[in-house]
Chain A
Amino acid sequence: MILVLAEDDPVALEALTFARRLGEVEAIAFDDVDLDGYATRVHRVRVDGYAPVAWAQAIVELAPEVVVAGGTDRGHEVLAHAAARLDAPLAANVVDVRVDGDVFHLTRQRWGGSLLEEARLSGSPKLLTVAPHAVAAEPAIDTPAAVEEFAPSLSDEHLAVRVARREEPPAGTVQLDKARVVVGGGRGVGSAEGFAILEELASLLGGAVGGSRVVTNLGWRPHSDQVGQTGARIAPDIYIACGVSGAIQHWVGCKGAKRILAINTDKDAPLVAKADYAVIGDLHEVVAAIVAELRAAR
């Protein structure tokens, strides 16, 4: 059986689409998710709240040959637990797979996607997560998914670690990874105060402020603003990157933007070369002029 962990997340549909390359797909779901078109059979498990070991145990009890999940926080966590329990190998953030008898020849992301690794995955069972946005979700099955309740035998051991409570964000917060416009600042901004003009531009465009690791490390911005390998992956209509050089660890976080405008004093900065638009100059002057122009046009 090829079993896909179907989280309540669009990435799960990508994982289901990807898993069809391996054969007929069944899903395991811990939430009410509509999987018509994506799976023939859904094993619906009821666990009160997110409990990673309990989710993994349910997967283990279904005795799959292959387990697939989306490359999300929960996908990685649950599959790591399942792999440990099954004493099986796990390949994270796979972007391509070819089956060759008992071996999977796969391509996976290293360095947050800056580098790819071709690898062989052997042994049985096999587990893998699919890198977000490696494939587009596409339904392919005409019959509705048959949903069956599945009750794994869970003990206190499986439920010891679970979400005790949730805390919601303050209302009106623009989430960086959902923003349509992101105004990003790097070392070139020069100080925490230097971000005031970037804030102003972001608010005029209804967007969010982001930054490089340098600015979060210097304490100019909170880490929640960081774009990159160890920060947020953004996908706005435009990313306006001010005084950001474009190191690969930053690039993997912003390359999902539809368009990039780089503002940099250095015309040879890597991000200028990779951007769609660039303005060469001091970001403080350029951003102030853009803000003035936008205000004048109102």
Chain B
Amino acid sequence: MNTLVCIKRVPETGARISLTADAQEIDTTFLGFTISPHEECAVEEAVRIGGRATVLTLGPRAAEEQLRNALAMGIESAILLETDGGDWGPEATAASIAESVRERGFDLLLFGNEAADTGGYQVGVRVAHALGLPCVTGVKGLEVGDGGVVARREAGGGWEVFELPLPAVVSVKEGINLPRYPSLPGRLKAKKAPIETVAVSPRPSRLEKVRLVVPQEAPSSVEILGDGAGAAPRVVEVLREIGVVAS
């Protein structure tokens, strides 16, 4: 098996988001960076499937950090499609990824269901179309067999099961597995691993960001029902008022 996993570097936001003064980006002065939980699971899945696994990202030089984290989890090699930093949008991202991997003979191309930040829900499908490969999204269970995969996804409380021949594109969701923590030797090895870097240049996008806006939450006024166990009678009163306890 020759597997590719595509990941995207995003800021690790916490309890609230602040924007830069021009409202073009999240202010990352005090933030670290990460990848989507869906993509962490895609990396784990590639490691579990075994064989040869490659991780790829399209992004700035700094995204080497996310590639090395994937290498530390057990991925063999890494490709950086290096940009000058701005977000490309899903069409251009997919076109560039498809072009770069077309000749590399991957059997399975894993994506996250949606990127954590822009949530475009399409790069995997567009890459599949460009390469003429079958594709399924939202996958939370994957079995790789002889020449094909069985993919399961949640639907209406149950599961829908798809069978695809390889090569194929699969977009996964968090929950497909529980990602491992990278081992110390894994981290040390990843630190020195070579990263294949290819410079890529942007193409015009038909979905253009104008500005970002932090949504206004309706101001809330919290009623403190009490401190510690002594608050229980008041809590039960409230549950009765709401009508979730038979009175």
- Chain B binding surface, main DSSP class: mixed
CB distance from B95 to the nearest CB of A (A): 10
Cβ–Cβ contact B17 & A80, under 8 A: no
Instruction: With A160-B134, A248-B14 as known contacts, state yes or no: A213 contacts B37, CB within 8 Å.
Output: yes
Could you say which residues of chain B place their CB within 8 Å of the CB of A122?
Answer: 206, 208
Could you say which residues of chain B place their CB within 8 Å of the CB of A288?
Answer: 229
Give Cα A290 to B230, complex, Å. 9
Instruction: With A115-B212, A119-B208, A231-B174 as known contacts, state yes or no: A167 contacts B159, CB within 8 Å.
Output: yes
Could you say which residues of chain B place their CB within 8 Å of the CB of A290?
Answer: 232, 235-236
B162 interfacial contact with A, CB 8 Å: yes
A224 interfacial contact with B, CB 8 Å: yes
B14, B138, B236, B243: which has the most chain A beta carbons within 10 Å? B236
- Contact residues of B with A, CB < 8 Å? 13-17, 26, 36-38, 90-91, 114, 116-122, 124-126, 128-130, 134-138, 140, 152-155, 157-165, 173-175, 178-179, 205-215, 217, 220, 222-233, 235-236, 238-239, 242-245
Could you say which residues of chain B place their CB within 8 Å of the CB of A83?
Answer: 122, 125-126
Instruction: With A84-B129, A163-B161, A277-B225 as known contacts, state yes or no: A90 contacts B244, CB within 8 Å.
Output: no
Could you say which residues of chain A place their CB within 8 Å of the CB of B225?
Answer: 261, 277-279
- Contact residues of A with B, CB < 8 Å? 50, 52, 73, 76-77, 79-81, 83-85, 88-93, 105, 107, 109-123, 129, 160-169, 173, 175, 180-181, 205-207, 213, 216-217, 219, 222-224, 226, 229-231, 237-238, 245-249, 258-259, 261-262, 267, 270, 272-282, 285-286, 288-290, 292-294, 297
- Chain A binding surface, main DSSP class: mixed
Give Cα A41 to B174, complex, Å. 39
Cβ–Cβ contact B15 & A275, under 8 A: no
The listed residue (B26, B175, B232) touching A223 by CB distance below 8 A is B175
Cβ–Cβ contact A169 & B157, under 8 A: yes
Give Cα A85 to B36, complex, Å. 27
Cβ–Cβ contact A80 & B244, under 8 A: no
CB distance from A219 to the nearest CB of B (A): 6
Cβ–Cβ contact B174 & A109, under 8 A: no
3 smallest A-B Cβ distances: which pairs?
Answer: A223-B175, A84-B129, A281-B228
The listed residue (B134, B159, B244) touching A166 by CB distance below 8 A is B159
**Extra contacts besides A115-B17, A213-B37 (13): CB < 8 Å:** A73-B138, A88-B206, A92-B120, A115-B212, A168-B157, A205-B244, A223-B140, A226-B174, A230-B38, A261-B235, A279-B225, A293-B233, A293-B236
